[in-house]
Chain A
Amino acid sequence: MNRRTAIKQFFIIAGGLTILSSCLNDGGASIVLNKLKISAEDEQFLGDLANILIPKSDTPGGKDLNLHLFVIKMVDDCESPENQAKFVAGFNKLRKQLNLANSKETEAALAGLKDKTDEKAFFDIFKSRAVQGYMNSEYVMKNKVIYKLIPGPYNGAVKVKA
């Protein structure tokens, strides 16, 4: 079986349960995806979720930094087909259970995912990718936890400031 056929079949199988279903006609994701089918509505939802995970304060939140797009991109390109299927299946289940308008309620729901295998699988991937995107974002690396291309001389014994 060639790769393209394999991918198509994956989407028909996974697609039955998923994102693909109701959202076909309301526009796609704002980034080019090879495997995942993400609608504009899905994208909106994931953006709101990114803002609940990393809220806006005096510094930008998850949605401002487009962490949801980063998550989708990484799941699309870097996760295995198995993890992609988990991501999609868990997302479809979880989104029906969350009321993102109420962030307190959502935080509580997300904190209580321990026994919901599918939903937890989705959220674990979402969170770890979003955190990866956040810590590697230009904003954080330039302003907060600073990355230096040229770090200066190596010092192997620096007294830690109290």
Chain B
Amino acid sequence: MANLNIDSEKNRTYDAIVIGSGISGGWSAKELCEKGLKTLVLERGRDVQHIKDYPTTNMMPWEFEHRNEMPFKVKEENPIVSKCYAFHEDAAHFFVKDKEHPYIQEKPFDWIRGYQVGGKSLLWARQTQRWSDFDFEGPARDGFAVDWPIRYADLAPWYAYVEKFAGIAGNHDGLPELPDGEFLPGYPLNIVEKYFKESVQKKFPERKVISARCAHLSKPNQIHIEQGRVQCQNRVLCQRGCPFGGYFSSNATTIPWAAKTGNMTLRPFSVVHSILYDEQKGKAVGVRVIDTNTKEEIDFYAKLIFVNAAAINTNLILLNSKSNRFPNGLGNDSGVLGKYVAFHNYSARIYAEYEGLLDFTAEGRNPAGGGYIPRFRNLHKQETDFLRGYAAGFGASRSKESDRSGLGLDLKNNLLNPKLGVWQVGSHMMGETIPKESGMVSLDSSKKDDWGIPLLKIAVDYDENDEKMKKDYIAVMTEMFTDAGFTNIRPDTHWQAPGLDIHEMGGARMGHDPKTSVLNKWNQMHAVKNVFVTDGASMTSTSTQNPSLTYMAFSARSVDYAISEMKKGNI
């Protein structure tokens, strides 16, 4: 009997465990497996295999039962996920429905989740901009959160490393605030986006409109072909999963690469309950999992644990990992675990029309989505009545529209002969928000989910800084649109809850000081040296750039460090 137990425990022991298989977990898995560690990858949802499990990927519009519209009943039963722009018939199967994993909104928060192998990497908007020292130095310069324990130079080689493998399309723009990377050819701005860029440049030379950088194979290299991926076909149906592997997802890229090493064991349907801490050893020794099919509780063991459950679920796991040594959650000596959660302010957009350049149109679809305006507010010094600033997307398009008035043969004729309209232009803000102690997630003391894990309470909100920034964005864009001769300018400031940006960050932030942060400069727990957090939970501040590329770089960098520490016998 005793022997059986030992055998069983041995069978459940690996060199490393990665919790989560999304963008950051996929990277952790790939790096660990490539470096020879037997790695268990735990995924709470089902398996989604590249191509095979993309049921809608080649469907034509008329093949969708409701032409891609979600039925009223589904929307009524899922008020949260229904707000997400990509929740339609073609991708609904990759989203978590509201009832599947409830949480408590102490303040309104739209928590958008993808529980499957690949996580939200199947669904993301694929925007990949590097951070710069204007971002990493932000908290220290402007006196909020805590100082980042790293600078751009620490991360730059790792950005390059992940970019080469993932495949990032972009131009070398030479902007210190948005450093260039290892780029595949960028997607072009269209003629009106270019016109706007020039119009802005004339009056505000410090404001740049560049091609958005994105994780698409505009021109694959050998390494991408080796992954089984080919050139992006500009379908822009990415949320369905791409049969070409045209964009970066864990499913197309890191997970199969990790599997190929023979070192990965992928275990879907495994909700992590907690990380097991051994007081004698002063280390984490494993992970407790609930099998979602059998509800069985199973412990797995490893010397090294990477937590990549996505920002909020990573907080949930750490908070629920209680022991005598850590009664308030693993590694939470500081008491800041779950706190200083922030997000991106996406609550303003602006639209207009342009009646110039009507001799031209654009053809095809742009995977990058158009232009990107890096942050220019308060960049070199504080100059407004709010802290930090915003980046913005900018896009122009011209489509053929049919006159839908009338009926009978006239209507039919009009419908079948759509005519080019004027140019439609639009922009959305991506504002940096300031992490605050009050922006927090915590565990409910009594309510539990289907797996016996406490429900998460989320209390994250906008503040006055966000309101001022939003006003500034609208004023600035209105002015630049007016200068460009755009007409019918329509600001849209309808409120949206935090979370819908799907850029929630923080809770287990990095910092120099164990008294005020959870992780050190290697994304390693100050207090538990064999636990690393390399997803959004580790973020000290939010900056304005889409964060995923930074998580990829963190994961690769931390694995490299962890393995060198293991070799030295420090882990």
- Does the CB pair A151–B234 fall under 8 Å? yes
CB <8 Å contact, B189 and A156: yes
A contact residues around B366 at 8 Å (CB): 154, 156
Establish whether residues A140 and B416, one from each chain, have CB atoms under 8 Å apart when the complex forms.
Answer: yes
Interface size class of B (residues with CB under 8 A): 35 or more
- Contact call A150/B411, Cβ cutoff below 8 A: no
Identify which of residues 61-119 in chain B touch chain A, using a CB-to-CB cut-off of 8 Å: 61-62, 65-67, 69-73
Say if the beta carbon of A101 comes within 8 Å of chain B: no
A-contacting residues, B404-438, CB 8 Å = 404, 406-409, 411-412, 415-416, 418, 420
The 5 A-B pairs of least Cβ separation, nearest first, read A156-B190, A154-B364, A157-B191, A77-B71, A138-B62
Q: In the complex, what residues of B have CB within 8 A of residue A145's CB? A: 400, 402, 415-416, 418
Which residue of A52, A81, A159 is within 8 Å of B408 (Cβ)? A52
| Distance in angstroms between the alpha carbons of A134 and B124 in the assembled complex | 31
Please, could you name 13 A-B residue pairs with CB atoms under 8 Å apart, sorted by A? A53-B407, A78-B70, A78-B72, A79-B72, A137-B62, A145-B415, A151-B364, A154-B188, A154-B234, A154-B363, A156-B190, A156-B193, A157-B191
What total count of A-B pairs have CB within 8 Å?
122
For B365, the chain A residues whose CB sits under 8 A away are 151, 154
Instruction: Decide if B478 is an interface residue (CB 8 Å cutoff).
Output: no
Interchain CA distance A44-B124 in the complex, whole Å: 45
Q: Is A29 located at the chain interface by the 8 A CB criterion?
A: no
- Which of B135-143, B257-265, B353-361, B489-497 forms part of the interface with chain A? B353-361
Least CB separation from A80: chain B residue: B72
**Residues of B173-221 contacting chain A, CB below 8 A:** 187-191, 193-194
Number of chain A interface residues as a range: 35 or more
Please determine whether B235 and A74 come into contact, CB atoms closer than 8 angstroms. Answer: no
Since A54-B415, A154-B364 are in contact, a sample of 7 more A-B pairs with Cβ atoms closer than 8 Å, ordered by chain A residue number, is A78-B72, A131-B415, A152-B234, A152-B364, A155-B363, A156-B188, A156-B189
Shortest Cβ distance from residue A67 to the other chain B in the assembled complex, whole angstroms = 11
Check if B233 sits within 8 Å of A159, measured CB to CB: no
Q: Which residues of A contact B153 (CB under 8 A)?
A: none
Q: Is the beta-carbon distance between A147 and B61 smaller than 8 angstroms?
A: yes
A157 to B423, CA, bound (A): 12
User: Shortest distance in angstroms between A71's beta carbon and chain B's nearest beta carbon?
Assistant: 12
How near does chain B come to A11, taking the closest CB pair, in angstroms? 16
Nearest residue in A to B189 (C-beta to C-beta)? A156
A144 within 8 A of B: yes
B334-371 interface (Cβ within 8 A of A) = 358-367
Q: Knowing A77-B72, A135-B415, A145-B418 are in contact, say whether A157-B190 is a contact too (CB < 8 A).
A: yes
A160 interfacial by beta-carbon distance below 8 Å: yes
* Partner of B69 from A54, A78, A134 at Cβ < 8 Å: A78
Knowing A135-B402, A150-B233, A150-B234, the reply to whether A52 touches B407 (Cβ < 8 A) is yes
CB closest residue in chain A, given B420: A160
Chain B contacts for A133, CB-based, 8 A:
67
- The distance in angstroms between the C-alpha atoms of A5 and B109, with both chains bound, is 31
Instruction: Verify A160–B407 contact, CB threshold 8 A.
Output: no
Query: At the interface, yes or no: A127 with Cβ under 8 Å from chain B?
Result: yes
**Is there an interface contact between A55 and B363, defined as CB atoms closer than 8 Å?**
no
CB distance from B437 to the nearest CB of A (A): 42
Interface assignment of A111: CB less than 8 Å from any CB of chain B: yes
* A13 at interface by CB-CB < 8 Å: no
B-contact 0/1 string along A99-143, CB 8 Å cutoff: 000010001001100000000000000010001111111101100
User: In the complex, how many angstroms separate the beta carbon of B515 from the nearest chain A beta carbon?
Assistant: 52
Q: Are A160 and B361 in contact (CB under 8 A)?
A: yes
In contact, B364 and A134 (Cβ under 8 angstroms): no
Complex alpha-carbon distance, A56 and B495, angstroms: 46
Given contacts A155-B364, A158-B363, contact A53 B234 (CB under 8 A): no
